[in-house]
């Protein structure tokens, strides 16, 4: 972080510089890591939090490069806090490559890995070597991550969720009654470190790949989170439960989907029916949504495998079902991120860096 006293100076000077916003916003960069996750938060003080590091393997150099491009735009020269939501390759795989490019001061995770595999074990061995030289914190629900100017709460970790509602939350959740818990074994997704972040009146949530069963634990019978302005949607735009999305009442949703991952029709139907009618910003045009269930092209940061000049109007064939079979073509070309700038009063602007389309959301209750 930049020195803390700078923050105090900025605040004391805020009246004089009310029009100059650059040092007064919380900036959030949602980076394209091809259906993985990497989201960079930069507080007005310059203190930074990165949530996940993108893919490993063939994608590591590409994804670390894209995260570094966002860091450069933000003027960030170190990561003050890195939250690893869980130990899947699309969330932690890129860590060794990224750590070779930028200093990382604190590593926050959920503790022991629950899904050993030949792919992830070597990454986690490298991870342990890297965090041994820095600060390592195991997050528990209810913990606070100390970030100057932000209130950063951990709301889920290691398969557990907060037991008490956040301040101002705790209303009965009317969407709980229809839920039937899926009888499936727990995976690393269930372990996701979820965060609820407040900056003045602006609120957002980022829950990693928190499963539907754990979403129920978190939101039922009472909504322990309250509402958000922006939902950094869990699970790459795969279905999130109405009992999570609807009471959160987001005015905008950003999903980190891929061309063949996330945003299937059943997920989009839930989003399009959300009572708060959020705008939906998609990292990629998803072949799974196709033309029928996609959003207008201006809200999409990256199109197919190679950028197209315009969205197709002819129907597109969805890829075969199954875990990415056949494997998607590598996309290593130019990629675009979403940048969110949030102000203390709750106003926030989302910008699509592909086309410079941006939209400003006024504080809650002040919409036209
Ligand atoms: Zn994932």
Q: What pLDDT does 92 receive?
A: 98
Specify the range with the lowest mean pLDDT, choosing from 23-37, 303-317, 337-351. 303-317
Instruction: Read off the pLDDT of residues 68-95 as tens digits, 9 standing for 90 and up.
Output: 999 999 999 999 999 999 999 999 999 9
Q: What pLDDT does 1 receive?
A: 43
Q: What pLDDT does 348 receive?
A: 98
Q: Measure 46 CA to ligand 1 centroid, in angstroms.
A: 27
Q: Measure 299 CA to ligand 1 centroid, in angstroms.
A: 21
The dihedral region occupied by 272, where left means phi > 0, alpha psi between -120 and 50, and beta the remainder, is alpha
Q: Measure 60 CA to ligand 1 centroid, in angstroms.
A: 15
Contacts for 299-303: CB closer than 8 Å, 24+ residues apart: 299/352, 299/357, 300/352, 300/354, 301/32, 301/335, 301/336, 301/337, 301/338, 301/352, 301/353, 301/354, 302/32, 302/331, 302/335, 302/336, 302/354
Q: Measure 209 CA to ligand 1 centroid, in angstroms.
A: 6
pLDDT mean over 159-168: 97
Q: Measure 239 CA to ligand 1 centroid, in angstroms.
A: 13
* Beta pairing partners, 82: 50, 107
User: Which two structure tokens, joined as six digits, stand for 353?
Assistant: 């860096």
52 closest CA partner among 75, 22, 29, 24: 29
Q: What pLDDT does 271 receive?
A: 97
Q: What pLDDT does 310 receive?
A: 62
Q: What pLDDT does 305 receive?
A: 66
Q: Measure 15 CA to ligand 1 centroid, in angstroms.
A: 42
Query: How far is the CA of 160 from the CAs of 140, 217, 316, in angstroms?
Result: 8, 8, 40
Does the pLDDT at position 231 exceed 60?
Answer: yes
Does the pLDDT at position 16 exceed 50?
Answer: no
Instruction: Read off the pLDDT of residues 2-13 as tens digits, 9 standing for 90 and up.
Output: 444 444 444 333
Q: Measure 236 CA to ligand 1 centroid, in angstroms.
A: 6
Q: Measure 325 CA to ligand 1 centroid, in angstroms.
A: 17
241 closest CA partner among 195, 152, 198, 177: 177
pTM assigned to the model: 0.90
């Amino acid at each position: 972080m930049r020195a803390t006293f700078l923050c105090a100076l900025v605040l004391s000077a805020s009246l004089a510089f009310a029009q100059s916003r650059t040092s007064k916003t919380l900036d959030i960069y949602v980076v394209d890591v091809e259906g993985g996750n990497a989201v960079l938060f930069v507080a007005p003080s310059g203190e930074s939090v990165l949530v996940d590091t993108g893919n490993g393997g063939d994608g590591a150099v590409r994804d670390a490069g894209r995260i570094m491009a966002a860091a450069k735009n933000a003027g960030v020269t170190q990561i003050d806090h890195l939250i690893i939501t869980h130990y899947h390759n699309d969330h932690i795989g890129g860590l060794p490559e990224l750590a070779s490019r930028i200093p990382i001061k604190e590593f926050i995770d959920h503790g022991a890995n629950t899904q050993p595999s030949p792919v992830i074990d070597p990454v986690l061995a490298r991870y342990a070597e890297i965090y041994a030289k820095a600060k390592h914190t195991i997050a528990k629900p209810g913990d606070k991550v100390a970030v100057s100017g932000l209130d950063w709460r951990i709301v889920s970790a290691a398969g557990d969720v907060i037991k008490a509602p956040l301040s101002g939350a705790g209303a009965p959740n009317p969407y709980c009654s229809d839920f039937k818990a899926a009888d499936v074994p727990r995976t690393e997704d269930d372990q996701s470190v979820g965060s609820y972040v407040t900056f003045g009146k602006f609120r957002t949530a980022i829950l990693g790949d928190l499963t539907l069963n754990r979403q129920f634990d978190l939101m039922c019978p009472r909504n322990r989170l309250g509402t958000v302005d922006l939902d950094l949607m869990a699970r790459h735009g795969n279905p999130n439960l109405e009992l999570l999305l609807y009471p959160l009442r987001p005015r905008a949703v950003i999903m980190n989907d891929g061309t063949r991952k996330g945003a299937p029709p059943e997920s989009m139907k839930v989003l399009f029916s959300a009572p708060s009618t959020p705008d939906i910003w998609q990292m990629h045009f998803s072949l799974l949504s196709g033309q029928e269930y996609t959003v207008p092209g201006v809200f999409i940061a990256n199109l197919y495998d190679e950028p197209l000049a315009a969205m197709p109007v002819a129907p597109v064939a969805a890829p075969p079902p199954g875990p990415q079979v056949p494997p998607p073509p590598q996309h290593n070309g130019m990629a675009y991120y979403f940048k969110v700038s949030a102000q203390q009063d709750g106003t926030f602007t989302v910008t699509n860096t592909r086309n410079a389309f941006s939209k400003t959301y006024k504080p809650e209750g002040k919409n036209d």
